[in-house]
């Protein structure tokens, strides 16, 4: 019996030891997976290489959408819907100082564009790369207006023999829904202040108002002038070269037998006409051939950005910081994801910068058409508190900083904008649709009683009562006066001076500078340097203040991404893919309906600008 017990005890110890070993092994595997998922390997950089900048989709200042959706698109080989501006600029500026990177190759075939100020940020980084004495080569088949703005910064621009350079200027055309709404029996009740506040006109008119036509023509011409000046300066062309090229295209291309590439070459817009294979040979001659791919030796901007940022972190250790907070997208109440500006979420980032002792100054990068007045006010108050804490605040305006976007900019110590920034639009409105007539068309009526004259007046299925109209218009009037007060205080001007240039009117950056709505014209880097000067910093690091994911959240995202790639690799059926692929582009009509639904809450007022080239 004792002998049997000894055998059983020994067997149990062996099994228990094996269990412990396997448990430890599993833990090590899991730990290794976590470390690998959260860190990733640092890309290697060959001794002689080209930095390949190939933006896909829209160039944005803040990534939008679910990382899971982006992983799905990448795994399916569908590319990216957007490229982050700062990934490209960090990579290009880092490569300019790296002896291993000898050429910058610009592949613009999948680039869909951006606003002119955003394009200029990328162009500025490319010019700095050229200034380091290194060559920039751009190539493509279809050089659209936005693509060409970037390509123009290169030493060499090559166009495919079947390609073209299509520059057509700026325009603003909108859909007008009044007749459709009338046919449906929908009444759009509008309350606004500002003769130029055209944001509501899509729902109340069948065409562009004279005021909207006037202001749109003014700022579109300013954008067009800025575009021509930037491109002709980069290409060393006569000032009127782009205007002549565009105006004569309907004649010159037919005269050349449809050979648009030859017309672009004769106009001096491109260096030469080469196929993609010919350009590859040119780049192989500059940096050598990659034996694996047969193309030129290259490293992508996304990979090199990791290298550049690792180097920046080493050199930034112990230095005081200029914090950067990006306010990109519509301004909405409460907590909002990246790509929109949440009243609470953005205010919290500003508060974090205020409490961080290492951050000595803040740059607020604004790219927003505005939105909720209440959310804008929440952000405004945090900026005022940040300044009161003794930290300088400098606003850097991107493509659009209008209405609510200007509201949150007003309290800054200093405002910088691009000449092509669209800003101002100081005015507010409210929209309340009612559908009692729509219901009447199908025989539905509404009747009842209330305890006060206001009871039931804000129902969507009843006509808006006069008492409610009077009440709402008074709120809009007060909101406009508050807006004027915020701006006049921040700009150190009288209420009357601001009112004269407000009224909902949109201004290009050059005019906004003349009118005192902005202080300086320049780039994002200019704004950062100004913030550092105000904080009396000679050495500093630039840090983007963003919501931080916990390690668990990062791990979940990594698991999701890996699961998507695995799903694609085993060839899941189309229906499964359709369920996973939820990021869809909305057609213009759907976007307008969604926008109207966001702007139709009866207890909300909005500072929003439906402006910009479309």
pLDDT of residue 582 exceeding 70, the answer is: no
Residue 494 tokens read as 């009288």
Residue range 300-328: mean pLDDT, rounded: 91
With left for phi above 0 and alpha for psi between -120 and 50, is residue 7 left, alpha or beta?
A: alpha
What is the enclosing helix (H) or strand (E) of 543? strand 541-544
Q: What is the tens place of the pLDDT at every residue in 473-517?
A: 898 899 899 999 999 999 999 999 999 999 999 999 999 999 999
Helix (H, G, I), strand (E, B) or coil at 64: coil
Residue reference for tokens 């791990």: 555
Class of domain 49-171+222-306: alpha beta
Mention every residue, 6+ apart, whose C-beta is less than 8 A from residue 503.
Answer: 194, 195, 196, 197, 426, 427
Q: Which residues of 285-311 are buried (b: 16+ CB within 10 A; e: fewer)?
A: ebbbeeeeeebbbbbebbbbbbbbbee
pLDDT (0 to 100) of residue 611? 74
- The domain ranges of the chain are 49-171+222-306, 551-586
pLDDT (0 to 100) of residue 198? 80
Q: What is the tens place of the pLDDT at every residue in 543-558?
A: 999 886 544 444 444 5
Helices (H), 267-397: 276-287, 301-316, 343-355, 373-388
Catalytic residue among 63, 134, 197, 530: 197
Q: What is the DSSP letter of 463?
A: P
Residue reference for tokens 């790509």: 339
pTM for the whole thing?
Answer: 0.84
Count H helices and E strands in the chain, helices first: 23, 23
pLDDT (0 to 100) of residue 475? 87
Residue reference for tokens 């582009």: 585
Q: What is the tens place of the pLDDT at every residue in 331-344?
A: 999 999 988 999 99
Beta strand extents in 71-210 (DSSP E only): 82-84, 101-107, 111-113, 135-144, 156-166, 187-193
Residue reference for tokens 């219901």: 439
Beta bridge partners of 300: 52
pLDDT of residue 389 exceeding 60, the answer is: yes
For the chain, how far is it from start to end, CA to CA, in angstroms? 91
pLDDT (0 to 100) of residue 261? 97
Catalytic residue among 226, 368, 396, 403: 403
Q: Select the highest-mean-pLDDT range: 188-202, 203-217, 237-251, 437-451.
A: 237-251
Mean residue pLDDT across the chain: 86
Whether 403 is catalytic is yes
Q: What is the tens place of the pLDDT at every residue in 238-267?
A: 999 999 999 999 999 999 999 999 999 999
């Amino acid at each position: 019996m004792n002998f049997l017990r000894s055998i059983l005890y020994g067997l149990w110890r062996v099994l228990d030891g094996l269990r412990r070993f396997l448990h430890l092994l599993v833990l090590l595997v899991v730990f290794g997976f976590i470390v690998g998922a959260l860190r990733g390997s640092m890309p290697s950089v060959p001794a002689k290489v080209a930095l390949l900048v190939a933006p896909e989709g829209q160039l944005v200042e803040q990534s939008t959408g679910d990382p899971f959706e982006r992983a799905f698109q990448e795994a399916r080989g569908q590319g990216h819907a957007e490229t982050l501006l700062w990934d490209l600029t960090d990579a290009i500026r880092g490569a300019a100082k790296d002896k291993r990177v000898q050429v910058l190759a610009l592949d613009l075939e999948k680039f869909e564009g951006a606003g002119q100020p955003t394009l200029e940020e990328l162009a500025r980084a490319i010019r700095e790369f050229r200034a380091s004495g290194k060559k920039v080569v751009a190539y493509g088949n279809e050089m659209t207006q936005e693509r060409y703005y970037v390509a123009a910064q290169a030493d060499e621009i090559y166009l495919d023999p079947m390609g073209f350079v299509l520059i057509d200027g700026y325009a603003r055309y909108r859909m007008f829904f009044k007749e459709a709404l009338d046919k449906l029996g929908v009444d759009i009740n509008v309350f606004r202040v500002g003769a130029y506040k055209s944001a509501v006109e899509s729902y109340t008119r069948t065409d562009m108002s004279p005021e909207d036509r006037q202001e749109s023509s003014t700022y579109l011409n300013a954008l067009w002038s800025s575009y021509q000046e930037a491109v002709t300066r980069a290409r060393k062309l006569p000032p009127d070269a782009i205007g002549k090229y565009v105006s004569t295209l309907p004649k010159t291309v037919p005269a050349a037998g449809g050979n648009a590439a030859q017309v672009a070459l004769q106009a001096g817009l491109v260096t030469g006409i080469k196929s993609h294979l010919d350009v590859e040979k040119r780049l192989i001659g500059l940096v050598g051939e990659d034996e694996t791919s047969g193309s030129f030796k290259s490293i992508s901007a996304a990979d090199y950005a990791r290298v550049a940022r690792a180097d920046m972190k080493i050199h930034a250790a112990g230095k005081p910081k200029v914090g950067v907070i990006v306010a990109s997208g519509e301004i909405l109440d409460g907590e909002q994801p990246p790509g929109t500006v949440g009243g609470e979420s953005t205010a919290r980032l500003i508060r974090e910068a205020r409490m961080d002792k290492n951050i000595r100054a803040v740059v607020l990068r604004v790219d927003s058409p505005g939105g909720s007045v209440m959310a804008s006010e929440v952000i405004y108050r945090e900026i005022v508190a940040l300044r009161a804490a003794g930290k300088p605040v400098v606003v850097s305006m991107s493509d659009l900083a209008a209405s609510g976007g200007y509201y949150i900019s007003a309290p800054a110590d200093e405002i910088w904008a691009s000449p092509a920034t669209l800003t101002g639009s100081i005015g507010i409105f409210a929209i309340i649709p009612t559908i009692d007539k729509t219901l009447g068309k199908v025989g539905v009526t509404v009747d009842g009683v209330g305890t006060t004259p206001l009871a039931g007046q804000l129902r969507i299925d009843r006509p808006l009562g006069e008492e409610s109209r009077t009440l709402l218009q008074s709120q809009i009037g007060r909101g406009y006066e508050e807006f004027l007060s915020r701006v006049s205080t921040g700009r150190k001007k009288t209420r009357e001076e601001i009112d004269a240039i407000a009224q909902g009117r949109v201004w290009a950056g050059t005019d906004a500078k003349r009118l005192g709505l902005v202080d300086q014209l320049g780039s994002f880097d200019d704004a950062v340097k100004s913030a550092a000067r105000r904080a009396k910093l000679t050495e500093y690091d630039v840090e983007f203040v963003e919501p931080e994911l916990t390690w668990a959240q990062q791990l979940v995202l990594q698991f999701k991404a890996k699961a998507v790639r695995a799903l694609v690799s085993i060839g899941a059926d189309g229906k499964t893919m359709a369920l996973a692929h939820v990021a869809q582009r909305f057609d213009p009509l759907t976007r307008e309906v969604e926008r109207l639904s966001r702007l139709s809450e009866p207890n909300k007022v909005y500072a929003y600008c439906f402006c910009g080239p479309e």
